Amino acid sequence: MTAKPLQDGLSSTSTHSRPASVYRAPSALRVRLAMLARAVALALLALIILLPLLWILSAAFKHYVDIYQLRVTFKPTLGNFVEIMREPFRVQDKLVNSLIVSLSTVAITLPIATAAAYSFSRFRLFAHKSLMVAVLATQFLPPVVIVLPFFLMFRNLGLYDTRTALIVVQTAMVMPFAIWMIKGFIDQIPIDIEESARIDGATRLQVLYQMIMPIAFPGIVTAGIFCFILSWNDFIIAAILTSEDAVTLPVSMSMFNREEGDLWQLLSATGILIMVPMFLFASYMQRYLIRGTTAGAVR
């Protein structure tokens, strides 16, 4: 008589011990649908990103009459690039101005920003946090608010419409960004390395230039790349501080209009000249950019 309850108990125990839900592997059809949906989403995203670039690329080689016609095929021409090199545009002069201003801005910014970042990282200065916040707060102001006092100052000093004025203002604009970015990389370097070098008799400058800078080099190069891009693409500052001699490439694009309207084919050709140096520069510095953006992820 006791066997039946025991059997019932075993059966009930085995029933309750079964898992509530059983994992089922996704079917092949579901996996293929997920991969197809992902491919479609990536294709749409690529189309959204590349379509404006493809339009600019095609418009740069079109005649004026082909710009407003919805045709995929057209007879390409290099006349647009020849025309923007002639009077009254002379885009090559604006290209030289942009290169000089951007490269000079980076060359001045990086040494100063590296020294300032090292000081903020390794020393506890007077009002240390307040100084760091003050450096960061300058990035919150619109460029047009900062450039107006510079405009009045440079006009009184006779530096209006000069490359020197642009370099000074561009350096002031990108310096806080460079300081904060380089400081983040220097913070990742163990201080024990510096202490060992100081015990061996190295000075602060030797430690900075012979030890810290080589280790933080990817971060410094990354900061330089972003500073170059910010300076190269600037429009507001250059538009206010220049009028003829020191006009840069982005500002020169505002000159392509006549009685018949905007000259989109010339605008597109100039846009190609603006983008190509950036693509080449970014491609060449890609290894430093990847190392810089991923540095410090694993400590």
Please list the alpha-helical segments (H only) found in the chain.
Answer: 3-16, 28-59, 64-67, 79-84, 91-122, 128-137, 143-157, 163-186, 192-199, 204-207, 213-215, 217-232, 236-241, 249-252, 264-284, 286-294
DSSP conformation class of 68: T
Quick check: is 212 in a domain? yes
Q: Does a structural domain hold residue 117?
A: yes
- For 113-148, give one letter per residue: b (16+ CB within 10 A) or e: bbbbbbbbbbeeeeeeeeebeebeeeeeeeeeeebe
Distance of CA 124 to the CA centre of its chain: 31
Q: Is residue 220 part of a domain?
A: yes
pLDDT at 106: 94
Q: What is the pTM of this model?
A: 0.78
Question: Does a structural domain hold residue 46?
Answer: no
Please indicate, yes or no, if residue 202 is contained in any of the structural domains.
yes
DSSP letter at 44 equals: H
Tens-digit pLDDT profile for residues 138-156:
778 888 888 888 999 999 9
Per-residue model confidence (pLDDT) at position 23: 52
Number of domains the chain contains: 1
Return the pLDDT at 32: 87
Contact 108, 171 (CB under 8 A): yes
Query: How far from 29 is each of 33, 36, 43, 201, CA to CA, in Å?
Result: 6, 10, 21, 69
Residue-level pLDDT at 146 = 84
- The parent domain of residue 289 ranges over 87-294
Phi, psi of 258 (to 5 degrees): -135, -170
* CATH number of domain containing 133: 1.10.3720.10
The closest alpha carbon to 125, from 288, 134, 81, 48, belongs to 134
Residue 200 counted as domain residue: yes
Say how many CA atoms lie within 13 Å of 80 toward its Cβ: 27
Q: Is residue 45 part of a domain?
A: no
Q: What is the CA radius of gyration of the chain?
A: 30
Residue 102 lies in a domain: yes
> Residue 298 in 3-state DSSP?
coil
Specify which residues 262 forms β-bridges with.
Answer: 257
DSSP state of 22: -
The pair of structure tokens assigned to 228 is 């170059």
Q: Write out residues in the chain with pLDDT < 50, as ranges.
A: 1-3, 6-7, 9-15, 20, 296-299
199: which 2 tokens? 């015990």
Task: Please report the pLDDT score of residue 93 as a whole number.
Answer: 92
